[in-house]
Amino acid sequence: MAKLNILDRLRDCIAALDSDCVNKAIKEALDSGIKPAEIITDGISKGQEIVGEKFQKSEYFLSELILAGEMVKESLQILKPHIGQEKVKTRGKVVIGTVEGDIHDIGKNIVIMLLQSRGFEVIDLGVDVPKDDFIQAVKEHQPQILGMSALMALTAPVMAEIITGLKAISLRDKVKVIIGGAPITTEFGASIGSDYQTTDAYDGLEKCLEWVGS
Amino acid sequence: MNPRERILTVLRGGVPDKLPLVAFDRHLLQGVKEREARNRGLGLLCYRPCYTESMPNVDVTTRSEGNLMIRTYKTPVGSVTEALRVGIGYGQAVLGRDWQGVIPRRKQFLVRKPEDYKVLKFIVENLHYKPYYYAIEDQMKRLGDDGIVIATLPYSPLQRMLIELVEWTQFYTGLVRNKEPIEEIYEILEKRYEDELFPIAADSPSEVVWYGDNIDSILVSPPLFEKYYLRTYAKCAERLHSKGKLLNVHMDGRLKALAGLIEKANVDIVEAFTPPPTGDLPINEALSVWKKKSIWINFPQSISTLMGTSPDKVKKYLIDQLELMIPGERVMLVLSTEQRVPDDSMMAMVEVMEKATLPLSNRVIEDIRSS
């Protein structure tokens, strides 16, 4: 009961964006002997999930979403020395980046925050990522999902080259491909052979959850 | 009517002979099709500066590293550095753009940690503006009746911090955790604009003055827009209106969540309004909410440019949009506000728009559809 109370409080502190309260709840959880993995999945992630939902309902905006992301980073820093060999269970692995020629990252970063809030491990390749780096990352990390972002119509066609590159080394069937960004349309996605395309971060998150069976 | 007459008629609340089709001059490359399009009524919007900006007491040095332009601002209270990635042909064309008309993309911001704010504060305290009208006067003479020349301003104060000055995590978390330096710099910048820049813009020879703010409701939430943007637009518009000028703000993002606040904003022209599928507010809804504003519609590049496009698709999309604009008052269509569009798509738009006589009606639309 006490354990549940502490983790619920931690969840609520994250959702309320109160970092002092978060730090206090984490300390209390550790002092009570709750495992770091449980603190992350049943406290921090649940709080992040609420923040994501509030963002979707326009109760929170970008400031709050980013602040929650920063609070989670700080929380993980506190937990790091206690994690040791303990495995934190993830929902799935996503490799994501903004394609070559495009250095817009806010949309991509919103998606990353939402994915992390729902327990995905995210490998962020950054912005202006050469197409070979996407292919190499899929080869190396073997993610369930590859996400590509582009804000400019001029750079979006690079996504087609990456999908072709994955086919060439027989990796296309091993990964779901989701693309996003302002100029992306269903028609464009279909023409390049992506599995899903969206201009909405939350919609993208829901598709990823569906793919990993959550 | 010529393109200039059409544009000005729309801006003055009248009804021109046809719904104007225009292009940003920097995104329209010269050539056979471009000449044909202009001969068939495509007008030009030419953006030119009306001021020079200086910052005495700040030592600015620039160096290049590959395709990065690295600029350091040295002040008595410390130094900050920004890095911009430039495109091919940068510096060989006008207005600090590459050959495709794209401005350098920022890779590193001046403010990346809280201590950097004090340096930024010193920089903005030292900003000064002087009039510079030659670029506008010269282009007005060259352009004649082919379009209009628009005087440009820097980004509005908070948008300038968000897009040009402060790293975005720092900015957004700062708005909740460390608001004081952001608000202090915002106030200084706004006062500087009010005292020096707005009078310069109001006295410029252009009929229209432009804030290139790239407004989007994800980046600029309704509470932010209400608190920091309405006020500065009002101050700018008041000054401009006293000299008979109009305020034009570039709002090319998702605007549905901001629609009500934009109606309240003292802005005359909503420029680059982008309908679905890129934007999230249909044009008929925008027209019904913004009853007194002129709307310059940006033809979405996802339709005109991205893979899978064709003249037929462009025509169909455009005719569907025209149907939503009936009777076609207060609007004009912009070819693109980003990069150039393919010639075939441009000519498809020209073909439709030269038949878009006003007032638009179902019959006019039907005639266009069946032609």
- Per-residue pLDDT 10s for chain B (371 aa) are 999 999 999 999 999 999 999 999 988 888 999 999 999 999 999 999 999 999 999 999 999 998 899 999 999 999 999 999 887 777 665 556 776 667 777 889 999 999 999 999 999 999 999 999 999 999 999 999 999 999 999 999 999 999 999 998 899 989 888 899 999 999 999 999 999 999 999 999 999 999 999 999 988 999 999 999 999 999 999 999 999 999 999 999 999 999 999 999 999 999 999 999 889 999 999 999 999 999 999 999 888 887 668 999 999 999 999 999 999 999 999 998 877 789 999 999 999 999 999 999 999 999 999 98
| φ, ψ at A176 (rounded to 5°) | -85, 140
Domain boundary among A83, A107, A140: A83
CB-CB: which of A63, A192, A199 is closest to B172? A63
Q: Is residue A52 domain-shared with residue A100, that is, in the same domain?
A: no
Task: Determine, for residues A191 and B308 on separate chains, whether the beta-carbon distance falls below 8 Å.
Answer: yes
Q: Is residue A127 domain-shared with residue A193, that is, in the same domain?
A: yes
Q: Which residue of A has its CA nearest to B280?
A: A199
Q: Is residue A52 domain-shared with residue A130, that is, in the same domain?
A: no
Round to whole Å and give the CA distance between B70 and A106: 22
Task: Determine, for residues B100 and A106 on separate chains, whether the beta-carbon distance falls below 8 Å.
Answer: no
Q: Is residue A139 domain-shared with residue A159, that is, in the same domain?
A: yes
Domains and CATH numbers, chain B: 3-56+113-370 (3.20.20.210), 57-112 (no CATH)
Span A100-126, average pLDDT: 87
Give the pLDDT confidence score for residue B364 in this predicted structure.
97
Give the pLDDT confidence score for residue A73 in this predicted structure.
86
Taking an 8 Å Cβ-Cβ cutoff, which residues of chain B contact chain A? 85, 100, 102, 105-107, 168-169, 172-173, 175-177, 218-219, 221-224, 253, 257, 277-278, 300-303, 305-308, 338-339
Residue B262, Cβ density class (10 Å: 0-12 exposed, 13-18 middle, ≥19 buried): buried
Q: Is residue A190 domain-shared with residue A101, that is, in the same domain?
A: yes
Answer whether B149's CB lies under 8 Å from B140's CB. Answer: yes
CB-CB: which of A63, A153, A182 is closest to B305? A153
Domain boundary among A83, A102, A120: A83
Q: Is residue A97 domain-shared with residue A79, that is, in the same domain?
A: no
Tell me the per-residue pLDDT of A8-39, one tens digit each, with 9 for 90 and over: 999 999 999 999 999 999 999 999 999 998 99
Tell me which residue range forms the domain holding A134: 92-211
Residues in Cβ contact with A25 at an 8 Å cutoff, skipping those fewer than 6 apart:
A6, A9, A10, A13, A43
Q: Which residue of B has its CA nearest to A19?
A: B177
User: How many A×B Cβ pairs under 8 Å?
Assistant: 83
Q: Is residue A76 domain-shared with residue A101, that is, in the same domain?
A: no
Residue A139, CA distances (Å) to A159, A196, A208, B351, B356 in order: 17, 21, 19, 48, 53
Task: Determine, for residues B176 and A128 on separate chains, whether the beta-carbon distance falls below 8 Å.
Answer: no
pTM over 0.80: yes
Answer whether B247's CB lies under 8 Å from B206's CB. Answer: no
Q: Is residue A103 domain-shared with residue A203, that is, in the same domain?
A: yes
User: Is the CB of A188 inside 8 Å of chain B's CB atoms?
Assistant: yes
Give the pLDDT confidence score for residue A103 in this predicted structure.
75
Task: Determine, for residues B339 and A182 on separate chains, whether the beta-carbon distance falls below 8 Å.
Answer: no
Q: Is residue A117 domain-shared with residue A182, that is, in the same domain?
A: yes
Instruction: Check residue B19 and report its DSSP letter.
Output: -
Domain boundary among A83, A100, A115: A83
Amino acid sitting at position B230 = L
Q: Is residue A156 domain-shared with residue A207, that is, in the same domain?
A: yes
Task: Determine, for residues B176 and A67 on separate chains, whether the beta-carbon distance falls below 8 Å.
Answer: yes
Task: Determine, for residues B307 and A156 on separate chains, whether the beta-carbon distance falls below 8 Å.
Answer: yes
Radius of gyration of chain B from its Cα atoms, rounded to whole angstroms = 21
Instruction: Report the domain count for chain A.
Output: 2
Closest-CA distance of chain B to residue A85, Å:
31
Residue B131, Cβ density class (10 Å: 0-12 exposed, 13-18 middle, ≥19 buried): middle
User: Is the CB of A173 inside 8 Å of chain B's CB atoms?
Assistant: no
Residue B168: list chain A partners with CB under 8 A: 66, 106
Closest-CA distance of chain A to residue B185, Å:
18
Query: Sorting pLDDT into bands at 50, 70 and 90, what band is A128?
Result: confident
Chain center to CA of A122:
5
Round to whole Å and give the CA distance between B100 and B87: 8
User: Is the CB of A103 inside 8 Å of chain B's CB atoms?
Assistant: yes
What's A46's domain CATH number? 1.10.1240.10
Q: Is residue A144 domain-shared with residue A175, that is, in the same domain?
A: yes
Residues in Cβ contact with A12 at an 8 Å cutoff, skipping those fewer than 6 apart:
A47
Residue B172: list chain A partners with CB under 8 A: 62-63, 66-67
What's A167's domain CATH number? 3.40.50.280
Question: At which residue do the structure tokens 């441009």 appear?
Answer: B346
Task: Determine, for residues B302 and A183 on separate chains, whether the beta-carbon distance falls below 8 Å.
Answer: yes
Give the pLDDT confidence score for residue B256 in this predicted structure.
95
Q: Is residue A68 domain-shared with residue A167, that is, in the same domain?
A: no
Give the pLDDT confidence score for residue A50 in this predicted structure.
93
Task: Determine, for residues B302 and A153 on separate chains, whether the beta-carbon distance falls below 8 Å.
Answer: yes
Task: Determine, for residues A187 and B305 on separate chains, whether the beta-carbon distance falls below 8 Å.
Answer: no
Task: Determine, for residues A63 and B176 on separate chains, whether the beta-carbon distance falls below 8 Å.
Answer: yes
- Best interface-test mutation with A: which of B100, B218, B256, B309 has the largest number of A CBs within 10 A? B218
